[in-house]
Structure 1
Amino acid sequence: MPLTEVNIQVAALLACGADPGAMSIEQAHAAMQLHIDCTVDRCQVRRRARTTLVEAGKCVLDERALPC
């Protein structure tokens, strides 16, 4: 299968150590599901996805998840 733009975007969501860049809300939701066992401290994809969802008002963080 050739690496098309869509395939590259999907591949970017798979590697925990690589920042996938800007995400749509749909991509962020999919990334959160793909990286369900990851923590935002170690996984750049989950961190970016959580930030995207919080900024869009789709996710509200518990006080324990907020920086001091």
Structure 2
Amino acid sequence: MQLTNLNMHVAELLICGRDPGIMTTEQAHAAMQLHIDCTVDRCRVRCRARTTLVEAGKYVLDERALPC
């Protein structure tokens, strides 16, 4: 399969060690589901997604939550 500009961003969401950059809330939600077994301290995608959702007011962190 050839990666196009359209699905290149999706492919980058699969790599835990690479920061995917700015995300929409929809992309962040999808990333959180893709990386459901990851932790924010080890997965840059999940960290970026969580930060995006928190900043958008779509996700509320527990006071005990660790920062990314």
Q: Which runs of 5+ in 1 are unaligned?
A: none
- For residues 21-65 of structure 1, the C-alpha deviation after alignment (integer angstroms, 9 at most, x for no partner) is 000000000000000000000000000000000000000000001
Give the counterpart letter for 1:15 in structure 2. Answer: I
**Change over 3 Å in CA distance of 1:7–1:19 after alignment to 2:** same
Q: TM-score, normalised by structure 1?
A: 0.93
Q: Percent identity?
A: 79
- CA-based RMSD of the aligned residues comes to 1.0
Q: Which residue of 1 aligns with 2:24?
A: 24
Q: Counterpart of 1:48 in structure 2: which amino acid?
A: R
C-alpha separation in 1, matches of 2:37 and 2:11: 18
Under a length normalisation based on structure 2, what TM-score does the superposition of the two structures give? 0.93
More helix by share: 1
SS at structure 1 position matched to 2:64: helix
Number of aligned residue pairs: give it: 67
Q: Secondary structure at the match of 2:46?
A: helix
Cα separation, 2, equivalents of 1:66 and 1:18: 20
